[in-house]
Amino acid sequence: MNRIDALFARLRSEKRPALMPFLTAGDPDLETTKGLIEALSASGMADMFEIGVPYSDPIADGPVIAASYNRALVKGVHVDEILACLKGLRAGASPVDAPFVTMISFAIVHRIGVAKYLDDAKTAGVDGLIIPDLPVEEADELAKLAATRDIKLIQLITPTTPRDRALAIAKSTTGFIYYVSVAGITGERRALPEDLKDKVTWLRGQTDLPICIGFGISEPEHVKMLAPVADGLIVGSAIVRRVHDAAQSGATPQKIAGDVDAYVASLRKALEA
């Protein structure tokens, strides 16, 4: 069974949503990325990881994540190195078993070759793909190829997605639906839209797929608000910013991992409150 399916089956019995940190691969370096995943996995604070593959023209990413992509690209981080890092995490002394989902541009996948990228991702232990610049109308071939390798194709629905289109996206999605909490780009926010819970509740009535909410989630209050309607909560910019600030201050990879783990623990505590 795909790790994503297994995770949500377990969490349904535990009656709690998944907590899913987003990390930019290679920012500030792959050693730090590896240490973050190891620490968050060992502490049990993260249920699943979204790994951002740096791209020069990121889709819907706000200034924090876009800047992290640029820093990684300037250092020459390559897709092959990212997948090798993930493969090493699966095969290490303390193997990481949490699902890995890569956020990657279709431009990169197309350049590598769809079949080759899927084969390489499968070998690396990747469980799902988020490809934000791949429209649902053009996703059938990739979805079929991914399914033969038991890799999920996770697609995004936004607050402005018309309902008929949202239904079409839900039908073509596997693993889970990524529900974008706000119209616009990623980034930390003090408050989330008041109608967010109502929109997610409507979508839940249309599909059996787990629904994970991302964009703007950064505070324990956000977690408390969304936990009753979400199967998963994705935290990105707040983590990426903390990693960068700590690296800029000269913190070691171990110190960075410890600080981020403590932050994610504060969000986890809100789930249990």
User: For position 99, which CATH number holds?
Assistant: 3.20.20.70
**Model-level pTM?**
0.93
* Domain assignment of residue 49, given as a range: 3-154+219-263
What mean pLDDT, rounded, does the chain reach?
Answer: 91
Residue of 27, 47, 50, 188 with catalytic role: 50
Q: Quick check: is 50 catalytic?
A: yes
Residue of 61, 127, 188, 231 with catalytic role: 61
* Over residues 29-55, mean pLDDT: 97
177 falls within a domain: no
The rounded distance, in Å, linking the Cα atoms of 123 and 90 is 10
Name, in order, each residue with C-beta under 8 angstroms of 113's C-beta and a sequence gap of 6 or more. Answer: none
Segment 222-238, tens digit of pLDDT: 888 888 889 999 998 89
Domain count, the chain: 1
* Over residues 23-30, mean pLDDT: 97
149 falls within a domain: yes
pLDDT for 103 beyond 90: yes
Segment 64-89, tens digit of pLDDT: 899 999 999 999 999 999 999 999 99
Helix or strand (DSSP H, E) at 40: helix 30-43
Q: Decide if 58 contacts 69 (C-beta within 8 A).
A: yes
69 falls within a domain: yes
pLDDT for 16 beyond 50: yes
